[in-house]
């Protein structure tokens, strides 16, 4: 990202926040501009995921290389999501923010809220829908990812006759990437409107102040946990790339700020891909790893699910034995990997984690007033994790290639 556009983004954020405070009604009246920005990003995401995966897999070529990149990606995701959950659990055990909060806060909220868990069988069926176009129209990403991977592998195994098909998707991908570069010029306007609207809404509804009370410590602990998660990944990225933390963060800033403004790692994907390109991650690796990581690497979300479950247990005075916490650990990892990178997507899979410790799902109501702001921070953490994942996989892949070359000479 060139310097001037970085400064422009910072100016637009400062302007957005101040206008949100000073002119809340006017900012809400122009909130459609931010929505338009999100729509344009989302418009590109689905075809981009498909074309990026197909072109990356077919150009990576060879099942061996592909499976090694896939293996590195999945290992990284599992590791980072597990570390996130462990950080959350450790912090909650040390600080115990829920102890002393009256259980009536959860029990009084007991009106059922409409966030039903998805049964395992329906989840599996939804991964393989009978109609891929209908799934795309419903914005279901996982089936698209599966379909693209299998489709690309099929193209590879068909060989010569599939070449025009591959060329078509490569051309389509390049055109989509061109559209993203144009869209990036609108980023400052999009961020101005999105952040301004968020600040204006908070100012008008006075939401944050209304029920802050006992939640303050919980919120701080969660944000601190995210900071730790970002920091260890930053250290990994610094060691691997030998670049300064300042460079890594400032060159990622457009993706991080878009994540913060849109609360959606999926909508941010086009920007994340541009950033990875600027950071010189091998393009084929980035095009394979990023769509996949955006779909399953929701470490910030997994941490949120774990800390919330434990927080509620502490409020309700439930047993927090090691087996119970292991249950939270496992379900939070699954919930983080199964959540969708859309605004508040994590709330849906949180039901699963709460069920594992018998906390009533209505407890989520306690989080709702803060969720929109916390969502922004966890989305930022998710996107940062995706970028570090791509950097790490690229590094491991290059190292493996070097080893092979050395062996063959």
In angstroms, what is the minimal distance from the CB of 338 to ligand ASP? Answer: 11
Token readout for 98 is 């829920």
> Residue from 265, 279, 295, 392 that binds ligand ASP (CB under 6 A)?
265
CA distance 286 to 300: 21
Is residue 264 part of the contact set for ligand ASP (CB under 6 A)?
yes
CA distance 388 to 393: 8
In angstroms, what is the minimal distance from the CB of 64 to ligand ASP? Answer: 32
Is residue 375 part of the contact set for ligand ASP (CB under 6 A)?
yes
| Site size toward ligand ASP, by CB under 6 A | 16
Q: What is the DSSP string of 292-326?
A: HHHHH--HHHHHHHHHHHHHHHHHHT----HHHHH
Q: Is 309 exposed, middle or buried (0-12, 13-18, 19+ CB in 10 A)?
A: buried
Give the residue with the Cβ less far from ligand ASP, 12 or 297. Answer: 297
Token readout for 87 is 């950080």
Q: Is 149 helix (H, G, I), strand (E, B) or coil?
A: helix
Q: Is residue 78 within 8 Å of 292, Cβ to Cβ? A: no
Is residue 229 part of the contact set for ligand ASP (CB under 6 A)?
no
Choose the stretch contacting ligand ASP; rule: CB under 6 A; options: 10-18, 42-50, 258-266, 398-406: 258-266
Give the residue with the Cβ less far from ligand ASP, 38 or 285. Answer: 38
> Residue from 98, 367, 378, 386 that binds ligand ASP (CB under 6 A)?
378
In angstroms, what is the minimal distance from the CB of 159 to ligand ASP? Answer: 38
Give the residue with the Cβ less far from ligand ASP, 384 or 395. Answer: 384
In the stretch 379-408, what mask flags binding to ligand ASP with x, by CB under 6 A?
x--x--------------------------
Nearest by Cα to 297 from 116, 145, 52, 81? 81
Question: Looking only at residues 325 through 364 of this chain, which bind ligand ASP when binding is defined by CB under 6 A?
Answer: 339, 341-346
- For residue 9, how many other CB atoms are within 10 A of its CB? 21
Give the residue with the Cβ less far from ligand ASP, 287 or 378. Answer: 378
Is residue 298 part of the contact set for ligand ASP (CB under 6 A)?
yes
Give the residue with the Cβ less far from ligand ASP, 24 or 346. Answer: 346
Give the residue at shortest CB distance from ligand ASP. 346
Q: Cite the DSSP H helix spans in 96-214.
A: 104-107, 120-127, 132-137, 141-158, 163-184, 187-205, 207-210
CA distance 59 to 55: 6
- What would you report as the CA-atom Rg of the chain, rounded to the nearest whole angstrom? 22
In angstroms, what is the minimal distance from the CB of 346 to ligand ASP? Answer: 3
In angstroms, what is the minimal distance from the CB of 379 to ligand ASP? Answer: 4
Choose the stretch contacting ligand ASP; rule: CB under 6 A; options: 17-25, 215-223, 261-269, 313-321: 261-269
Is residue 301 part of the contact set for ligand ASP (CB under 6 A)?
yes
Helix (H) or strand (E) segment spanning residue 339: none
In angstroms, what is the minimal distance from the CB of 254 to ligand ASP? Answer: 16
Give the residue with the Cβ less far from ligand ASP, 38 or 286. Answer: 38
Give the residue with the Cβ less far from ligand ASP, 277 or 372. Answer: 372
CA dihedral 389, 391, 395, 398 (to 10 degrees): 110
Residue 157 CB contacts under 8 Å (≥ 6 apart), including other chains:
none
Residues lying near ligand ASP in the complex (CB under 6 A) are found at 263-265, 298, 301, 339, 341-346, 375, 378-379, 382
């Amino acid at each position: 990202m060139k310097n001037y556009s970085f400064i422009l983004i910072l100016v637009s954020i400062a302007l957005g926040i101040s206008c949100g405070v000073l002119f809340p009604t006017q900012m809400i009246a122009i909130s459609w501009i931010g929505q338009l920005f999100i729509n344009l990003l989302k418009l590109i995401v689905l075809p981009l995921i498909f074309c990026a995966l197909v072109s990356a897999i077919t150009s990576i070529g060879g099942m061996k290389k592909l499976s090694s990149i896939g293996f590195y990606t999945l290992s990284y995701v599992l590791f980072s999501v597990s570390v996130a959950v462990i950080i959350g659990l450790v912090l909650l055990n040390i600080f115990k923010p829920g102890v002393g909060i009256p259980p009536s806060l959860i029990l009084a909220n007991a009106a059922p809220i409409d966030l039903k868990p998805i049964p395992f069988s329906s989840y599996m069926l939804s991964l393989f829908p009978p109609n891929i176009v209908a799934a795309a129209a419903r914005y279901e990403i996982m089936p698209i990812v599966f379909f693209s991977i299998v489709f690309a592998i099929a193209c590879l195994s068909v060989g010569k006759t599939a070449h025009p098909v591959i060329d078509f998707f490569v051309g389509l991908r390049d055109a989509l990437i061109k559209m993203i570069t144009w869209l990036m010029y609108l980023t400052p306007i999009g961020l101005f409107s999105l952040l301004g609207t968020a600040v204006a809404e908070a100012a008008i509804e006075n939401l944050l102040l209304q029920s802050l009370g006992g939640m303050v410590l919980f919120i701080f602990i969660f944000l601190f946990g995210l900071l730790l998660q970002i920091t260890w990944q930053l250290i990994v990225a610094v060691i691997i790339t030998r670049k300064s933390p300042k460079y890594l963060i400032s060159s990622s800033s457009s993706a991080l700020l878009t994540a913060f403004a849109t609360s959606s790692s999926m909508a941010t994907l086009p920007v994340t891909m541009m950033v990875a390109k600027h950071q010189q991650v091998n393009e084929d690796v980035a095009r394979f790893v990023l769509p996949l990581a955006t779909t399953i690497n929701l470490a910030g979300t997994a941490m949120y699910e774990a800390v919330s479950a434990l927080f509620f247990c502490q409020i309700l005075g439930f047993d927090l034995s090691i087996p119970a916490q292991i249950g939270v650990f496992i379900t939070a990892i699954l919930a983080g990997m199964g959540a969708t990178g859309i605004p508040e997507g994590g709330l849906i899979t949180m039901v699963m984690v709460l069920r594992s410790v018998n906390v009533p799902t209505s407890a989520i109501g306690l989080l709702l007033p803060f969720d929109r702001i916390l969502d922004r921070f966890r989305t930022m953490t998710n996107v940062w994790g995706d970028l570090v994942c791509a950097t790490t996989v690229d590094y491991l892949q290059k190292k493996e290639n070097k080893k092979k070359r050395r062996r063959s000479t």
